[in-house]
Amino acid sequence: MKTLRAPLLASLLLVPMASAHAEEERPTQPAAPAPVARVTETTLSVLEPIGEGCEWAQLEALTSARRVIAKFAVDCQGAATALRRDGKRGAVRFWRGGVSQPVVGRPTFPEKFPSPAFRDRLFLVDVTTGGSEELPLPPSGELIEFGFDGGGRLLGLSIQKPTPDQERAGAVEVDGNTIRLDLGGKGRPLLAHAFAWQAGTWTRLDVKATTESSGTGVLALRKELGERSSRTLDPRFAPEEIEDDAVLDQLYAFTPEQPDGEWVRLERGGHTLALWGTPFGDELLATGLLRRVEKGRAMPLPSLAFRENDLVSIQSRGPFLLISLADSGGHARMYRGRKLVWSSESARAVTFWPK
């Protein structure tokens, strides 16, 4: 099996697949967006570069109707979003690690390397008024995941590397408690923190010992996180075996020498896809080498430029299929059946807007 590049490896390892709260500070901004339109099967959440900044917009893909949610004086690279369950609050993060990486070789769509001036930034957004407020990052470790829980709190999950002295001691003191490091697990021992943004500050709710393999998955609060692009754009998936020998015969000619993998079936809504999945631990990652299977025929999708060295995210809603680069959510294409109905080369973090 080939080795994944370090940034991709780190991001996948650290993000496993799997009542009354304090009032948040209300962001303010004079310009208010238009009222929220009815969300349809083709309503998207997109982040798009505008000049030297970035706009978070709600886009109706079939009509091009567009509602700007918020504007940021930040480059769109590394952008990710999260939305509260009532749709009234959101969060946007710009992260050096939030870029797409190829499995091997050169990617189809190379991304520029972040400049030395790039810094990790997080914004809380009032979706109703369009106001945004930059928040400090959680005080311990590096923020890996963020999102809103059922009560509307913004949660931030971070990973911290212990110091060499702490590793030798096998324990870390946090808020007066001794946390024993997991020295026998897979990968380097780490600490996972869960924070909530409330009353204008980050409050630590939990801290657990973890490893590179388990990441933030050891935190019970991770299950409370709601809609977020980082989960939607993850390339991991649950494959099924292709049992039709005639389809496998058609796919044989496209089998790549690398990356290592296998042809598997993926069902998304009413769509049946055959794709090249590459192994990552006990899971498979979806690559851009895929075909739509219909009536025993494996057919390419029009204008789908992704290849076997690209990792992709595959989403569906009703009869629509949305394919983009994994993690960054860039170079998205939307299909209805075999017809391309929408695409973008500039938008990032493209996901279906939650209904």
Helix (H) or strand (E) holding 248: helix 245-252
Handedness of CA 214, 217, 220, 221 (dihedral sign): positive
Q: How many CB atoms lie within 10 A of CB 179?
A: 17
Higher pLDDT pick, 193 / 51: 193
Tokens found for residue 77: 């690279």
Higher pLDDT pick, 168 / 104: 168
| Residue 280 confidence (pLDDT) | 86
| Residue 101 confidence (pLDDT) | 80
- 15-29, 127-141, 197-211, 290-304, range with the lowest pLDDT: 15-29
- Cβ atoms of 312 and 325 within 8 Å: the answer is yes
Q: Which amino acid is at 228?
A: R
- Cβ atoms of 194 and 206 within 8 Å: the answer is yes
Q: What is the pLDDT of residues 78-98, one digit of tens each?
A: 999 999 999 999 999 998 777
pTM of the complete model: 0.87
- Spans of all domains in the chain: 6-30+41-228, 236-352
Q: Confidence class of residue 112 from pLDDT cuts 50, 70 and 90?
A: confident
Q: Confidence class of residue 273 from pLDDT cuts 50, 70 and 90?
A: very high
CA-derived radius of gyration, the chain: 21
pLDDT beyond 90 at 198: yes
Place of tokens 């991770």: 222
